[in-house]
């Protein structure tokens, strides 16, 4: 896969590139950009800002804490399908595909391996079911943006910028809670 330029500007918003020590990688976010040409093995995981009105659903993942629904893309799965599955498995959210859209993607870059690409979605929930048995999630919390920095499992300038961007997309979408 070709490496992309750091600091690429999209949609009038520039996102910082940061180092994530827990994952031993540099992370960048590319808003409103189509997925780049990549090896299929580079498509790694999906992340979703799942909204109920103006609040975001955060999964309480054991040994991690509160985070947006996310997870690896399974073999044969498209990113949209993976996002619907992960949102349900981690929060019990039922998503309306008509009120769901890609807002960009993360690139995770580490020495000695191919870049990992992680599509990011914004979605409006249709409703919630019980979190499935065997889920890694201990529960779900609906949070306003002002609450998120104090409860999210990991917070830095990139996470803050992408959260702000996702909340802005949601606010301008015209979507409302169930």
pLDDT computed for residue 12 by the predictor:
53
- Asked, for residue 154, whether it belongs to a domain, the answer is yes
Residue 36: give its domain's CATH number: 3.90.79.10
Q: Are the beta carbons of 81 and 121 closer than 8 angstroms?
A: no
- Residue at token pair 């976010």: 29
pLDDT band at residue 177 under the 50/70/90 scheme: low
**Residue 33 sits in which domain range?**
9-172
Model confidence band, residue 7 (pLDDT cutoffs 50, 70, 90)? very low
Of the chain, the percentage scoring pLDDT greater than 70 comes to: 92
Predicted confidence at residue 40, as pLDDT, reads 77
Beta bridge partners of 52: 55
Whether 178 has a pLDDT exceeding 70, the answer reads: no
Q: Tell me the pLDDT band of 14, cut-offs 50, 70 and 90.
A: confident
Taking 60 as the threshold, does the pLDDT of residue 149 lie above it?
yes
The 3-state DSSP composition of the chain as helix, strand, coil percent (nearest 5) reads 20, 40, 35
Residue 138, Cβ neighbours under 10 Å: how many? Answer: 12
Mean model confidence pLDDT for the chain: 90
Residue 32 lies inside a defined structural domain of this protein: yes
The answer, as to whether pTM is greater than 0.75, is yes
How many structural domains are present in the chain? 1
Does residue 178 form part of some domain?
no
Greater confidence, 177 or 46? Answer: 46
Mean pLDDT across 94-117:
93
Q: How confident is the model at residue 103 (pLDDT cuts 50, 70, 90)?
A: very high
Residue 15 lies in a domain: yes
Residue 34 is predicted with a pLDDT of 83
Quick check: is 177 in a domain?
no
Q: State the pLDDT at residue 39.
A: 77
pLDDT exceeds 50 at position 10: no
Letter string b/e over residues 55-92, b meaning 16 or more CB atoms within 10 A of that residue's CB = bbbbbbbeeeebbbbbbebeeeeebbebbbbbbbbbbb
Residue 79 in any domain: the answer is yes
4 lies in some domain: no
Tell me which residue has tokens 């690139």. 107
Residue 57 placed within a domain: yes
């Amino acid at each position: 896969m070709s490496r992309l330029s750091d600091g690429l500007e999209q949609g009038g918003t520039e996102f910082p590139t940061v180092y994530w020590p827990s994952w031993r990688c540099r992370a960048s976010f590319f808003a409103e950009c189509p997925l780049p040409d990549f090896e299929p093995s580079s498509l790694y995981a999906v992340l979703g800002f799942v909204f109920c009105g103006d609040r975001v659903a955060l999964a309480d993942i054991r040994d991690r804490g509160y985070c947006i629904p996310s997870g690896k893309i399974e073999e044969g799965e498209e990113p949209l399908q993976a996002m619907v599955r992960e949102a349900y498995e981690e929060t019990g959210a039922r998503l309306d595909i008509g009120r769901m859209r890609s807002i960009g993607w993360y690139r995770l870059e580490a020495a000695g391996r191919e870049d990992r690409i992680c599509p990011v979605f914004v979605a409006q929930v249709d409703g919630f079911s019980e979190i499935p048995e065997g889920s890694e999630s201990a529960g779900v919390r609906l949070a306003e943006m002002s609450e998120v920095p104090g409860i999210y499992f990991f917070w830095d300038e990139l996470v803050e910028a992408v959260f702000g961007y996702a909340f802005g997309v949601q606010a301008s979408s015209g979507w409302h809670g169930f």
